[in-house]
Structure 1
Amino acid sequence: MQLELNDCAVGHNGFAVLSGVNLRLQQGEIGCLLGPSGAGKTTLLRAIAGFAPPYHGSIHSQLDGVPRLLSGDGVQLAPEARGIGMVFQDHALLPHLNALDNVRFGLFRLPRSEAAARARRMLDLVGLAGFEQRYPHELSGGQQQRVALARALAPQPGLVLLDEPFSSLDPDLREKLALDVRSALKAEGVGALLITHSQTEAFAMADRIGVVADGALQQWDSAYALYHRPANAIVARFVGEGAFVAAESLGGGRLLTPLGETTCSNSELVTGQRVRLLLRPDDVIHDDASPQQAEVVARAFRGADFLYSLKLDSGDRVLSLVPSHHDHAIGQRIGVRLDLEHVVVFGG
Structure 2
Amino acid sequence: PEIVIATPGRLWELVKEKHPHLSNLRQLRCLVVDEADRMVEKGHYAELSQLLEMLNDSQYNPKRQTLVFSATLTLVHQVPARLLHKKHVKKMDKTAKLDLLMQKIGMRGKPKVIDLTRNEGTVESLTETKIHCETEEKDFYLYYFLMQYPGRSLVFANSISCIKRLSGLLKVLDIMPLTLHACMHQKQRLRNLEQFARLEDCVLLATDVAARGLDIPKVQHVIHYQVPRTSEIYIHRSGRTARATSEGLSLMLIGPYRNFQACLHNSWIEQAAAALEIELEEDMYKGGKVDQQEERRRQKQMKVLKRELHHLLSQPLFKDHLKTRYPTQSGRPPLPMAAPKNGESALSCLSRQKKKPRRQQQQGPPQPSTSAL
Instruction: Judge same fold: TM > 0.5, yes or no.
Output: no
Q: Please state which structure has a larger fraction of its residues in strand.
A: 1
TM-score by length of 2: 0.20
Larger radius of gyration between Structure 1 and Structure 2: 2
TM-score by length of 1: 0.21
Q: Please state which structure has a larger fraction of its residues in helix.
A: 2
